[in-house]
Amino acid sequence: MKKDIEIAQNKILLSIDKIAKKLNINEDEIELYGKYKAKLSNTLINRLKDRKDGKLILVTAINPTPAGEGKTTITVGLGDALCKLGKETIIALREPSLGPCMGMKGGATGGGYAQVIPMEDINLHFTGDIHAITAAHNLISAMLDNSLYFGNPLNIDINNIKWQRALDINDRSLRSITIGSDATLRRDGFIITVASEIMAILCLAKDIKDLRERIAKIIVAYNKEGEIVTVKDLKCVGAVVVLLKDAMKPNLVQTLEENPVIIHGGPFANIAHGCNSVIATNTAIKLAEYVVTEAGFGADLGAEKFFDIKCRVSDIKPSIVVLVATIRALKYNGNVNNIEDDKSLERGIANLEQHIENLKKYNLPVVVTLNQFSDDTKDEIDFVRNFCKNLSVDFALATVWENGGSGGIELAKTVLANINRKNDFKLLYNDNLTIKEKIETIAKEIYRADGVIYNSKVEKEIEKIGNFGFSNLPICIAKTQYSFSDNPKLLAAPRGFKITISDIKLSSGAGFIVAIAGSIMTMPGLPKKPAAEDIDLDDNGNIVGLF
């Protein structure tokens, strides 16, 4: 069996200008980054503003195994399948982070014969967007510490600084560090770049003007009187915007089947809001009849945040949701004490059922697809198919890893049969609820928790956020992706638990409040055997070991 990277490297790519022509994009409306990558220019984005929107298909998933369930692979395969059916289609994805690429999970360009290429470039440095975000984030850090060094004119309380540094590599030793000297000596730390508020802002900003306004609002610290200190106070808003001006432009690449893909922005869904940029999605739905996009991790994280954060701030409205499951993940969710038995699938199917119920709360059509693996049996597949039938949810089998777009035809036809069904899309909660009411709505309606526990520190921070006038913002819950709860060991569809909010952070520039549930790391660590051990250049200069 060929590895993903071998399949990708055996493909002769079309030059990116030819991909652009498929979308009726002019040569002067793309900015080339080599022969096979390009950025979409502001000229194009402005030209498309008054066009009618195409239909948006959101791909999400059940709670995954540590290896993931092929959600990006399904997204790419579905897009290719729609193109095979003669539908004008664009795929819109997030940019991969170097953290998982060098760590455990690997890249994020799909797999097998449902991939986006050039996969090596996309999974590594791509067009430099994430590096630009890292630089912009750390410029703010440097400006803050420079202000402290030169007499602290903003009267910053060094024990109440909220802005850390950022790096797009998993490095647990940088979670907590000591910096400065004498009067400026203080505790600091690094977060992974994809958890940066700059990343969230880039993905939610509608244009450069909106980007500038959001950056200015970022809270970096509080002064000794307890007042907010922002990036505007540091006088570096313009410099940050300059570092991000090219990163704001969406990137155009292609699938193995030479269909267009827009990739832009990459916030994690367990830490951040897990969606590609508003600009990329808006551009895609102006360019094509159908757009296939995804939200990170399970639907309890990625899809909930796609709806309640991204759709709320952008007026983007999906037409249908595709829920990805695998036999492997269903059995994983049904394992008792990590022991698989004949009843694992029957127990684990409760996870799929709860995700279906949750998605229906947004008044959207839902289609379930099973990403088929070679060791799945007919009885197992039929069990899932019949389960969906009993819930009156359409089901489709997908073999896109093995067969590319051809393996997604059944899914594509099922999506097309459902996409024009009644769609009264609604959000889960209203802006005017209190911070606690919003958190508790998500916890009870999506996770099925009995309640929420707040410690005294979180209680005080919620009160402070309210006093500063930010209670109207949506909630971004950061929690484990492996469970509906905040405990990764509570699988399937647990009941009789409570969610513990261990910390709460105001991201005033991004426009949401981050509530951290349980133990979640904003700077992950590398596994015992990192993927980086296997990545290398061969004697011909080809990258090997990337997956």
Rounded CA-CA distance 470/473 in Å is: 6
Rounded CA-CA distance 494/480 in Å is: 14
List, in sequence order, the alpha helices (H) in 391-493. Answer: 400-403, 409-418, 435-442, 456-467
Q: Are 285 and 317 in contact (CB under 8 A)?
A: no
Candidates 37, 39, 55, 94; catalytic one: 94
DSSP code at position 48: T
Does the annotation count 94 as an active-site position? yes
Tokens of 349: 């199917």
Does the annotation count 387 as an active-site position? no
List, in sequence order, the alpha helices (H) in 449-491. Answer: 456-467
Does the annotation count 497 as an active-site position? no
- Chain centroid offset of residue 246 CA: 20
CA-based torsion, 249, 253, 255, 258: positive or negative: positive
Q: Name residue, tokens 């802005």.
A: 163
List, in sequence order, the alpha helices (H) in 97-186. Answer: 98-102, 119-123, 129-149
Rounded CA-CA distance 322/112 in Å is: 20
Candidates 37, 39, 55, 71; catalytic one: 71
Does the annotation count 457 as an active-site position? no
Candidates 84, 360, 361, 373; catalytic one: 373
Candidates 114, 269, 329, 396; catalytic one: 269
The strand pair at 177-179 and 251-255 is best described as unpaired
C-alpha separations of 150 from 140, 156, 304 in Å: 15, 12, 44
Candidates 60, 73, 369, 414; catalytic one: 73
Closest-CA residue to 407 (of 121, 110, 123): 110
Does the annotation count 71 as an active-site position? yes
Q: Per DSSP, which regions of 231-371 are E strands?
A: 251-255, 260-263, 290-294, 320-325, 366-371
Judged by DSSP in three states, 493 sits in coil
Rounded CA-CA distance 498/78 in Å is: 37
DSSP code at position 195: G
Candidates 37, 39, 105, 286; catalytic one: 105
The strand pair at 190-192 and 219-223 is best described as unpaired
List, in sequence order, the alpha helices (H) in 421-489. Answer: 435-442, 456-467
Judged by DSSP in three states, 32 sits in strand
Does the annotation count 73 as an active-site position? yes
Active site residues: 71, 73, 94, 105, 269, 297, 373, 401
